[in-house]
A = this chain, B = another copy of it.
Amino acid sequence: MSVPILQPGTGPLPGDHYLPSRPDTVLWGRLPCETDAAVLRIQPGETVTIDTVSHEGILEDQGKDPRAYFGGHGVADDDVLTDAVEIAASLSRDPAADGPHVVTGPIHVAGAEPGDLLKITVVELALRAPYGVISNRHGKGALVGELPRAEGNVSVFAPVEERDGTLCGVLPVVEGGERIVAFPLAPFLGTMGVAVAGSERPHSVPPGIHGGNIDINLMTEGASLYLPVQVAGALAYVGDPHFAQGDGEVALTALEAPLRATLRFDVVPREEARRAFGAVSGPLVRTDEYLVPTGMDPDLNVAMRACVRAAIDLIQARWGLDEHLAYAYLSAATDFDISQVVDIVCGVHARIREADFAEVDRG
């Protein structure tokens, strides 16, 4: 089970459209806003295959030269993605003002209007390379001021290897040692969002109503993300590809590594959205098993309460439960998880089992 290198445009491109990541189709450190021109225009229901690019390996503190950086970890020149090389060479960001993420888009989805929901379904995620990076930087992560210990930032290179038929990220026990710690991959996109109104591009780090860097590790193949459309055409974008991430993302980053993502974009009109989910005021995830409302705030206590409110609202709107019964149900039956605590705005998401409501007639 080897991982072929998916250079831009090579290999299977299953989507109705293909969107590469090039200096003119990405933003580095900022998210699209209303006044940004679409780099692709599609009809609702169409799929797009997007070659996403990880910021890890191209950042300033890593030398801003992926061939040199990954080469230092034994990666051959041909196995470094040319789009990452091109972006690092052509674009700049202001580390003091901008986030680290490379986001690809925006994509204009015909007919999407404010009040509708944009539904982004993860059809397929293919690894583009058999390696990634996990970073911890000063002033960031769950243990700000404690880690990293030394002066420099810490980036841990992590190749992908097969273990018992499963692709895993592998780490050594001690720096330079044999790579005998192995954790299974569960790829997803850390960032999926819609453009905000106005002419100011948001910082790429804090997630919000627009989605963005939500870092919810349930967004694997088959999952859908519903986002309240903010501007005409939605102007969707994705990036921050992850091979694996734990809830919390405690050191600062996931196993950051490039994915070829095939996504379907659908528009859920306002009235249909309201009947299905009520007044969705932030990102809503759906998996085979769960409906997953979210809460976000710089204070994790506040994010948790926001998520509880969103969960009660969803259950009331979707299944008609009395408020006190919705609250009781959540207390006994729903896990509230920490999405991440390292993106300025913390996230909490609630896994509501849809099967528990199978007998409820939604009218």
Q: Which residues of A line the B interface, CB within 8 A?
A: 134-136, 141-143, 146-149, 154, 156, 158, 169, 171-175, 180-183, 217, 243-255, 299-301, 304-305, 308-309, 319-325, 327-338, 341, 346, 348, 350, 353, 356-357, 359-360
Q: 27 pairs across A/B with beta carbons < 8 Å?
A: A134-B328, A136-B327, A136-B331, A142-B308, A143-B327, A158-B332, A169-B332, A173-B320, A173-B322, A173-B360, A175-B324, A181-B329, A181-B357, A181-B360, A217-B335, A244-B333, A245-B332, A246-B330, A246-B333, A247-B336, A248-B304, A248-B350, A250-B336, A251-B327, A252-B331, A255-B332, A300-B300
Given contacts A173-B319, A322-B174, contact A250 B333 (CB under 8 A): no
* Across-interface contacts of A327 in B (CB, < 8 A): 136, 141, 143, 147, 250-251
A292 to B146 CA separation, bound complex (whole angstroms):
22
Q: How many copies does the complex hold?
A: 2
Chain A contact residues, majority secondary structure: mixed
Residue contact A330 to B247, C-beta cutoff 8 Å: no
CB-CB < 8 A to A149: which residues of B? 323-324
- Of A248, A332, A341, A357, the most chain B CB neighbours within 10 A belong to A332
Closest to A172 in B: B325
The listed residue with most B CB atoms (<10 A of its CB), out of A135, A156, A327, is A327
**With a CB–CB cut-off of 8 A, which chain B residues contact A148?**
324
Q: Which of B243, B309, B359 contacts A182 (CB 8 A)?
A: B359
CB distance from A243 to the nearest CB of B (A): 8
CA distance A218 to B309 in the complex (A): 25
The chain B residue sitting closest to A303, CB to CB, is B300
Instruction: Collect the chain B residues with CB atoms within 8 Å of residue A244's CB.
Output: 332-333
- The interface residues of chain B lying within 8 Å CB-to-CB of A323 are 147, 149
Q: Is the CB of B300 within 8 A of A183?
A: no
Given contacts A143-B327, A156-B328, A174-B320, 13 further A-B contacts (CB under 8 A): A134-B329, A142-B308, A146-B309, A171-B325, A174-B321, A246-B330, A246-B333, A248-B334, A250-B327, A300-B301, A301-B341, A336-B338, A336-B341
Let me know if A251 and B335 touch, CB within 8 A.
no
The CA of A141 and the CA of B356, in the complex, are separated in Å by 23
- List residues of chain B with CB within 8 A of the CB of A304: 142, 248, 300, 338, 341
Bound CA–CA A253/B319 (angstroms): 22
Given contacts A309-B143, A320-B174, contact A134 B331 (CB under 8 A): yes
Assembled-state Cα–Cα distance A120/B232 (Å) = 58
Say yes or no: A147 contacts B336, CB within 8 Å. no
User: Chain B nearest CB: distance from A154 CB in Å?
Assistant: 5
Is the beta-carbon distance between A154 and B338 smaller than 8 angstroms? no
Residues of B within 8 A of A154 (CB): 324, 328
The 8 closest A-B pairs by CB, nearest first: A251-B331, A248-B336, A183-B333, A247-B335, A180-B359, A134-B328, A246-B334, A255-B332
